[in-house]
Amino acid sequence: MSSETISLTLPTTLAQELKVASQVFLLDLLERGLQDYKIERALEQYQHGHLSFGAAAQQAEVPPTKLAQVAYAKGIQPPFSLQTVAEELGSDYVNRSK
């Protein structure tokens, strides 16, 4: 994996907290934060009708089921299909109920 160095100006209290954190922890924190940010932006675009739900999942770089979970948690009603239901409940459950 290639890497690049960036510099940030942080509030002193936050900088002091981060000084004691390991680089692995900080990288994980940044990756999670970036993923959350992408999901938030994609859901916002979906809510405003600028993206379909599938396109929003692609933009956020997450599977539609993951985006649906976050959407439900935020009170957003995503569209669903039999495939989505099967993935959420397990395909055996859906096949038995036919």
Which tens digits make up the pLDDT trace of 13-69?
988 888 888 888 989 999 999 999 999 999 999 999 999 988 999 999 999 889 989
Q: Which two tokens stand for residue 72?
A: 């439900």
Query: For the chain, which residues make up each domain, given as ranges?
Result: 22-96
What local confidence, expressed as pLDDT, does residue 17 receive?
85
More confident residue, 94 or 56: 56
d(CA 4, CA 18): 19
Q: What is the CA radius of gyration of the chain?
A: 18
| Distance in angstroms (rounded) separating the CA atoms of residues 41 and 5 | 26
Q: Are 63 and 57 in contact (CB under 8 A)?
A: yes
Cα–Cα distance measured from residue 69 to residue 65, given in angstroms and rounded to the nearest whole number: 6
pLDDT band at 6 (very low <50, low <70, confident <90, very high): confident
pLDDT at 98 (0 to 100)? 52
